[in-house]
Structure 1
């Protein structure tokens, strides 16, 4: 694997050794000064650590107090103990800092999804993103960010594929390490997750990932191992699933033998939320902290285990010590405890968000050099379901309330205006799985601003409340608590005054809906409970009596998404929308998750599919250039479920084909967190892959389209021609499970390794991406391999175009004489090189024995066998530009990092 010196220009490189210190903050203030919003490479000037001695504090606690530390306080805090131990705050990541609320939280910056950041192949950018996330954590009083995610993308169908950086362990682990170094440089703990083999959402709490130890070591554990080698994550999160029959949260082999003993991890291990299934077993295995609180598997159960000597006080001490050690870091960070939450919005942050969005965009095709767009273009048709909405992130715990968003349409309009280019929009087709939320079109009934009023009662406020009989004229008892909200998706896991509102309660949501277009609208409602939607005083949707269940909310116990058509709405006219609900039935079924239920209201103007397609095609014909923005969204890619196929939803593919036929100067932009198939790819001259781009998605796209940014990203995962070509097919998800287990039949041949070994050509290979520049590779040299397995690779890259550009050079290693089947080539290092027009630069990458080794289950160790190895330097996993060789004279064997 590359030594950190393979990235000589990066902050990641300079901080590599420093980040491995056991107690980064314990020595007091660091030497450099940090200014908020500036100097992403510099750590903050922090106050000296408060007087907090871990061992003295631990010794002062009673056994009951120590037990208390082993589980969380609510969703986002650790437990406190009198005035000695405050609560540490944590927040979901990995592409933003939500804060402590799902409901009515402080708006947040949303960075590109991890697959997009991985596609940048840019450790400097990952470091900067980590620092910026750390800044926002500090503003929100957050000590622990729950990220990054480095689960291997075994299949593009995975609901959370967009949360991980890559299908390749080297890219995954090295980008994660840079992210961690940036985040922790500002005193915020990272939480590397989800350890390990948490690669699908189907039966994620119970499924057993049955995998050989070799594949586990080389593919699934490797990104965690690399992150630990090149950074020092202060926390780790266990996954929900079992590995070879044993839940990870109960696996002493994974947590103690490998993570702590073999790799030397010194930090805290927490569970995923409700991911602890035992008491003594999880504590002995090494899970320090059960999340969330209140505890289900600890607390009194630990006391009982102590009495039965299934546990001993020393076991409790071992776990509590890790909580206190992380608390010591929290003290040292200077982040206040129980602080008010604030947002961050600076020009520097907005620039970074925009840079990250554009740097994550992959140019897949540009056959006729339509891009970049020039002033010769006078009219642009922007078409597609992803153009008018900002698809900033995938769904689930990665979702957050963005501080602001820029849609692709808005970004294109802004850039086109500067050039005097006319832009018109046509929807073309719809692809939503759930109706879009009401959010842009709602306002408070009293006229005081945007949003809705939410009122709560502990007792039924009227006889007909939340029944099929309209009760809008009934006089209601005074509510016990109320609040306003900006949105129509209220996930009431938090943000409710629990001192006034009981868990079983009644609530009413009231707002004014003002459409921007006249016509018939389809309204929809999902409830975590029972109730009804009334539109302008009339019952519209009845979910009050034994409604059908869907797959929404926790445990899939929300109602089905029920829809109704409401006709003849007028643009600009306001209509009253009211939902009355009780959550009793829902709360009884999910007692282990503290919450008050929730509701989701959507609405969309009904369109005739054929008319929408025809309008889009006609607009494309009448324009100089058509820009099609299609893809998936957080309804299709989300935590909680996997995709069924790799197709674009609805009529997307037909729309693309018909617009391509209407205008040969069509640019297709696909937005998805993972791979999809493009049946029209041969007809499309220009194609971009944008992933989920965060706040500045629209501006990032426009910057690439109009040439303000020369695209430099490369695919962080393979795009197959069809689902059957994916190496994990068919052993994946609900169609591949065998009585509660998934067989990892492909072994080490995951991602591009599998396509190459089977000689299956993908649609676009791993590491692929074009530029407006052209590059030439030359003069490859490989040093002799030392007795420890170290060697250096050097080569030259030249920009042979007239345009400044950046090229990602990828270094692959191939074992020509292996005693076991090995991949044809494996990524072991990469370097992003910036070059002016005509400029050449020498690139140097240093490697160690890890770049040569494989895991030998017979020996229980890593082995690099003596013999000849090929060194392959390329622009992608398939586009190899240079080939050299090295020779290892003596077989090496080792255990650990």
Structure 2
């Protein structure tokens, strides 16, 4: 979301932030922010019409049947109501649709965020997505999803706006990378799918976002002040990298999807017919509904024809003027024939079917909170200025025992990068000196910065709409003090002049790096880390170096949104241990103490690469700045993102993707590989025939259905309605300028389609690897087995040296204990996208495929060659 407001002295003051970055001052890469506004030849988004009808998937057939029975009886006003938000600040939630009360369908409540309930009370502030990814624990991913879904349901939220799997993390300075699960499509896909399954098990509709290519914050959005950038992505890169997690989300049955603000190949995501109609709804078989991001709706008819189903929050280009691209204008477009009735029927059916699919027709709560105020009483429609008032916050406590899950996620994500001389774990009687404001609380008070828009105290999450209010914050200072009385705290980012070290002292230094969404600028960083670069904030590097000069043993704890450069201090003799605690949420302190003092062995692994220099990345992943004209952000690095790039360029990073140490040791033995569904052909067999879709009377309805004379309630100023003053005067528009390539004839199923997520044969298990994992050390702990694939040159295209495709985590293994893990690889996992055939191509019988398993992308002792044998190196 890019436009926000606050109410001061009864006046609504809008803050439109374009986010022009300050000059880059990072000494490591002075050219990390640049202009790029020349056209990108060869990148265009072809037309794809019409929108495929939903309802043919067997898992959705019952919900679509119920929806068809209801939608067939709806008036035009009721249909338009469900597709259009009621307007900015026109209800209790960050967004809400109109209702169809005759059929028991209320205003549907949409609310942020991916890590918990935003702008609410008595909720849990869970660890962020990047933290969840670092656990490499599917069970915890699912459990966190369940907990978020339970809290959303408890607050009366129909549609929770998460998980985020875009941005992928292509740009290391990108402001919202931390909302996703990591810089790898499979890690994002598994994290997203597990979260969706967990959330929707509670009846809450999950929203996968942002579709697609929203990889930097500044200049992402088209509005009255700027044109959003165009992410120019070739077909293979789109499918193998950025689309991959969305495909798995669709396969998991996600109910809704949010379009990104930006363009892809010079067509806005919210009206890109190739992306929405062709790829999402046809090739991937998405059965749910597509919404805009907030104020990311740019046209009326064109967006409807291109596959958009819901406008959020409903307003036109400028909020709170009482106008909309849809609403009453949508009613006009139906009456004059510009938008076929069949398209509207499909839009509404998708929304209502999803509502039925999640069981929200059965005792689902209404909203009991207000995103607009923390007061118990207030205006019901604050955007109207003159609004009826009432109780808007009931202060329903939805936390349950979710702090247990939050603490478990935060703890299992903690990643041990270095541990010389086994300085960790700390003894409870060790003499500790703790430095850094990141160890303490925000001195201005809990939640004193709106949407976490500051970097004060321990960094529990980034900033922006992807946040939640903290019900409490257990700080590292508190967590350490709960375990030992031998710690002295210096909560300053400048090394105190009077501190001297004794031989037995251990310094624990806390540093961080922050980022967030573009509508807030923090310390010169407009979302993306433009001013800070990849350096630690608040002179963190100097704090570590100063401690290292005074103390012979230094432990560094890092809370960060993404990659952070460590070269100034990582090799200093005194720096013995480094822990990355990511973004831990409300349980920052005790989760860290659990690991620092050895109650739990660290088991997190890096969800991205840590470089030695920012110049190690390709030039194409820089933050782009061009205030006027449209930025052309061309993905010239293609499929070589994060560790794929480092391997391809033969660059040794400081810490590789997947790296993570433990207080114990593990080995992998007895690997075996078995064949599942044989890869008898390069391309998957044809998908089964799709089922039928709902059938409607698609004649233009009576104009009286959207006449103001049929409205029976008190009209709210600025509220967005579907009604028109004189709809009977609207004539058919036979000369509407339809887009090039427009058609109303349904296309044949794409050869790569046929099921949710794509052709069902793509997800047949091709190979299954079993491996024994044994704890060979002296302490208990968990291990992660990461499976990477290496594809043969016989496929005829360049492929990365290794690609993560699967992972599994052990239970807690006692010293000497073993566990057998099974890692399954699908046909799609060993395929490349054939841009000519437009299908996934695999090596016949898996010839030449290698499956390697290990502790990180740089440590893979198990090698299985398909058709031969497995070995441990």
By the TM > 0.5 criterion, same fold?
yes
- Give matches, 1:589-628, under 5 Å: 612-615=494-497, 618=499, 624-628=505-509
What is the SS of the residue equivalent to 1:415? coil
**CA–CA separation in structure 2 for the residues paired with 1:92 and 1:717:** 25
Q: 1:632 to 1:622 in 2, by over 3 A?
A: farther
The alpha-carbon distance between structure 1 residues 854 and 737, as it changes in their structure 2 partners (threshold 3 A), is farther
Name the CA distance, whole Å, in 2 between partners of 1:802 and 1:776.
13
Structure 2 contact 179–466 (Cα < 8 Å) conserved: yes
Hey, what does 1:145 align to over in structure 2?
Answer: 160
805, 813, 835: which one pairs with 2:781? 805
Higher relative contact order at CA 8 Å, sep ≥6: structure 1 or structure 2?
A: 2
Map 1:541-620 onto structure 2 (within 5 A).
612-615=494-497, 618=499
- Name the SS of the counterpart of 1:331 in structure 2: coil
- Matched residues in 2 for 1:796 and 1:738: separation? 57
- Show the counterpart of 1:367: 420
Aligned to 2:306: 285
State which of 856, 861, 870 in structure 2 corresponds to 1:876: 856
Aligned counterpart in structure 2 of residue 681 of structure 1, from 562, 570, 573: 570
Q: Within 2, Cα distance between the matches of 1:287 and 1:413?
A: 53
Taking the TM superposition and a 5 Å limit, the aligned residue runs for 1:767-782 are 767-782=658-673
- Does the 8 A contact of 1:636 with 1:643 survive in 2? no
**CA pair 786-887 structure 1, distance change in 2 beyond 3 A:** farther
Indicate which of 111, 116, 126 corresponds to 1:91: 111
Is the 1:621–1:662 contact (alpha carbons within 8 Å) kept by the matching residues of 2? no
Residue in 2 that maps onto 1:428: 492
User: More displaced, 131-140 or 758-767?
Assistant: 131-140
Aligned to 2:511: 630
2:653 aligned with 1:762, yes or no?
yes
Contact 1:160 1:638 in 2 (8 A): no
Find the aligned partners of 1:26 and 1:70 in 2 and give their Cα distance.
18
1:89 CA displacement: 1.4
Q: Spell out the pairing of 1:461-480 with structure 2 (5 A cutoff).
A: none
* Counterpart position of 2:733: none
Corresponding residue number in structure 2 for 1:117? 132
* Residue 255 (structure 1) aligned to one of 276, 279, 282: 276
Q: For the Cα contact (< 8 Å) 1:373–1:705, is it kept in 2?
A: yes
- Aligned partners of 1:736, 1:850: CA distance in 2, in Å? 41
Following TM superposition, by how much is the alpha carbon of 1:326 offset from its aligned partner in structure 2, in angstroms? 2.7
Contact kept? 2:155, 2:365, Cα under 8 Å = no
Map of 1:392-791 to 2, 5 A cutoff?
Answer: 392-416=460-484, 421-429=485-493, 612-615=494-497, 618=499, 624-633=505-514, 641-644=527-530, 645-678=533-566, 679-683=568-572, 684-727=575-618, 729=620, 731-734=622-625, 739-784=630-675, 786-788=677-679, 790-791=766-767
Larger mean Cα displacement after TM superposition, 695-704 or 860-869: 860-869
TM-superposed CA distance for 1:306, in Å, is: 3.3
Q: How far apart, CA to CA, are the structure 1 residues paired with 2:101 and 2:190?
A: 41
Inter-CA distance 887–622: structure 2 relative to 1 (3 Å threshold): closer
SS of equivalent residue, structure 1 residue 424? strand
Indicate if the aligned counterparts of 2:516 and 2:527 stay in contact, CA closer than 8 A.
Answer: no
Structure 1 contact 384–630 (Cα < 8 Å) conserved: yes
Aligned position for 1:354: 407
For 2:138 and 2:527, the matched residues in 1 are separated by 31
**Does residue 181 of structure 1 match 2:197?**
yes
CA distance in 2: counterparts of 1:375 and 1:24, whole angstroms = 59
The counterpart of 2:96, out of the listed 77, 99, 103, is 77
Displacement of 1:778 in angstroms is 1.7
Closer, same or farther in 2 for the Cα pair 1:731/1:345, shift >3 Å? Answer: closer
Deviation at 1:304, TM superposition (A): 3.7
In 1, are the aligned partners of 2:557 and 2:579 still within 8 Å (CA)? yes
Q: Deviations over 1:58-101 (max 9, x none)?
A: 22222233222211123322211344331121210101112xxx
Q: CA deviation at 1:831?
A: 0.8
List gaps (5 residues or longer) in structure 1: 1-19, 28-51, 430-611, 889-897
Q: 1:91 to 1:872 in 2, by over 3 A?
A: same
- Tell me the equivalent position of 1:863: 841
Q: Does residue 214 of structure 2 align to residue 198 of structure 1?
A: yes
Aligned match of 2:807 in 830, 833, 842? 830
Give the Å deviation of 1:24.
10
Question: Secondary structure of 2:142's partner?
Answer: helix
Does the 8 Å CA contact 1:270/1:287 hold for their aligned counterparts?
A: yes
Distance 2:173 2:214 in 1: 13
C-alpha contact (below 8 Å) 2:437/2:458 kept by paired residues = no
Quote the offset at 1:333 in angstroms.
Answer: 5.3
Q: Distance in 1 between matches of 2:826 and 2:175?
A: 35
Question: Structure 1 residues 782 and 273, CA, compared in 2 at 3 Å: closer, same or farther?
Answer: same
- Measured in 2, the distance between the counterparts of 1:730 and 1:406 equals 36
Shift of 1:376: 4.2
Residue 133 (1) aligns with residue 148 (2): yes
Mapped to 2, the partners of 1:24 and 1:704 lie a distance apart of 48
Matched, 1:305 2:321: no
Measure how far apart 1:732 and its partner are: 3.5
Q: Alpha-carbon deviation of 1:404?
A: 0.9
> Is 1:233 the equivalent of 2:245?
no
**Equivalents in 2 of 1:251, 1:345: separation in Å?**
38
CA contact 1:765–1:876 (8 Å) conserved in 2: yes
User: How much does 1:188 deviate?
Assistant: 0.7
For residues 110 and 235 of structure 2, what CA distance do their matches in structure 1 show?
33
- Tell me if the contact between 1:395 and 1:638 (Cα under 8 Å) persists in the aligned partners: no
Q: Is the 8 A contact 1:785 1:886 kept in 2?
A: no
Q: Please identify, of 663-672 and 307-316, the stretch whose mean Cα deviation from structure 2 is larger.
A: 307-316
Does 1:334 pair with 2:402?
Answer: no
After TM superposition, the structure 1 stretch with the greater mean CA deviation from structure 2, 390-399 or 332-341, is: 332-341
Greater mean deviation of Cα atoms: 246-255 or 626-635: 626-635
Deviates more, 1:805-814 or 1:781-790: 781-790
**How far has the Cα of 1:237 moved from its partner?**
0.8
Alpha-carbon shift at residue 335 of structure 1 (Å)? 1.9
Q: Report how far residue 673 of structure 1 moved.
A: 1.3
Tell me the distance in 2 between the aligned counterparts of 1:333 and 1:755: 51
| SS of residue in 2 equivalent to 1:805 | coil
Distance in structure 2 (CA, Å) of the matches to 1:620 and 1:383: 13
679-688 or 750-759: bigger deviation: 679-688
In structure 2, do the counterparts of structure 1 residues 25 and 131 end up closer, same or farther at CA, with 3 Å as the change threshold? farther
Give secondary structure in 2 for the equivalent of 1:191.
strand
Distance 1:840 1:804 in 2: 11
The aligned residue for residue 63 of structure 1 is: 76
- Cα distance in structure 1, aligned partners of 2:516 and 2:833: 39
Q: Is the 8 A contact 2:426 2:596 kept in 1?
A: yes
Tell me the TM-score normalized by structure 1.
Answer: 0.70
SS at the partner of 1:374?
A: coil
CA RMSD of aligned residues (A): 2.4
Query: CA–CA distance in 1 between the matches of 2:560 and 2:310?
Result: 34
Q: Is the 8 A contact 2:81 2:97 kept in 1?
A: no
Compare the two structures and name the one with the higher strand fraction.
Answer: 1
- Whether the aligned pair in 2 keeps the contact of 1:390 and 1:406 (CA below 8 Å) is no
Q: Is the 8 A contact 1:784 1:887 kept in 2?
A: no
